[in-house]
Each structure stands twice: as structure tokens, then as C-alpha cells.
């Protein structure tokens, strides 16, 4: 519903890049040269396809266990991507809150840069990060896609236990 999704995986099945495009070759420049390989089109990526299908069918946490392999620009970026995978569906955070979750509350720009450099859209859910004023901000795949993903997760995410 958000448009075509292309996913590049490594030989071990870990997602190396993903994006809302019909052209998987357009994702190759997002992958670090050390992780690149030849692109072979397959309609079914096994567990990755099953997780995306379950996510679209309303199981908003189905993509969480899918392994991701990205080359980082440094320790903070790698940590920030791991933290981003812990942001719960249906509970977006601001860039300021994201920087704080990553342990560097003053590093809002570095947190935003981690989102911008994320090659594994959906699986490393940078769409769950909003501007400080709560507006959408940017998204490599377009604000319509970001809006749809956030609305889908708001409808399908597990509700927090009462009293929390």
C-alpha cells in the first residue's frame, strides 16, 4: 500500500538495503562497497518476505527480528541504528528524544544524520522519527510513504499495557 518495496540481502539473508522503489538496482549505491554484490531479482526472500507480509497484514513487530547488516561511519551511527530498531511501532519519537535514547542528548544532528544515512528503510525504522515540533520532517522515500507507515503502525501496533 505504501508503494513497491525493494530489498537487498546478503548471502546470509541479512538486509543490506531496502527502499520504496520498484528498482532494486537503485539501492546499490546505498550499500557500502564492501557489502555490495550482484543484484539478482527474486520475488521471494524467504523470512524477509514473510516478515514484510506479516507487517503489512497488521503484525507491526514482524520486521523486528529480521537481521540487518549496514556498514557504519562510526560507533555512534551503529549504536544509533540499533537504538532506532528499539523504537516501538505506533510510538514515534522526535529527533531530540532519539538522540537522548542513543545516549547523546546534545547530538541531535548526529541522530538525524544516522536516519539520513540509513540504507535499510522499514527494517531500521527511521520513519518513526519526527521533527521536534511533531511534524514529519524528511524521508528518503517521500512523506506520503512516511505518513502511510506511521498511520499503519498507529492502527496495528500493540497497545501499551494499562498503568504504564
Return the active site residues.
126
Listed residue (123, 100, 105, 116) closest to 9, CA to CA? 123
DSSP assignment of 80-118 equals: HHHHHTTSPTT--EEHHHHHHHTT-TT-HHHHHHHHHH-
Listed residue (1, 26, 2, 31) closest to 14, CA to CA? 31
Angle at CA 65, nearest 5°, toward 27 and 56?
Answer: 70
* Separation between Cα atoms, residue 79 and residue 104, nearest integer Å: 11
* Separation between Cα atoms, residue 78 and residue 110, nearest integer Å: 12
Amino acid at each position: 500500500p505504501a508503494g513497491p518495496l525493494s530489498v537487498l540481502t546478503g548471502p546470509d539473508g541479512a538486509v543490506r538495503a531496502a527502499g520504496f522503489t520498484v528498482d532494486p538496482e537503485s539501492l546499490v549505491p546505498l550499500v557500502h562497497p564492501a557489502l555490495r554484490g550482484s543484484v539478482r531479482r527474486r520475488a521471494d526472500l524467504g523470512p524477509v518476505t514473510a516478515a514484510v507480509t506479516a507487517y503489512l497484514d497488521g503484525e507491526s513487530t514482524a520486521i523486528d527480528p529480521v537481521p540487518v547488516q549496514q556498514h557504519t561511519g562510526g560507533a555512534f551511527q551503529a549504536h544509533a541504528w540499533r537504538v532506532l530498531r528499539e523504537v516501538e511501532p505506533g510510538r514515534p519519537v522526535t529527533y531530540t528524544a532519539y538522540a537522548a535514547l542513543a545516549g547523546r542528548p546534545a547530538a541531535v544532528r548526529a541522530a538525524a544524520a544516522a536516519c539520513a544515512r540509513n540504507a535499510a528503510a522499514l527494517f531500521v525504522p527511521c520513519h518513526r522519527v519526527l521533527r521536534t515540533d511533531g511534524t514529519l520532517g524528511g524521508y528518503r522515500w517521500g512523506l506520503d510513504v512516511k505518513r502511510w507507515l506511521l498511520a499503519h503502525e498507529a492502527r496495528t501496533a500493540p497497545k501499551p499495557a494499562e498503568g504504564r
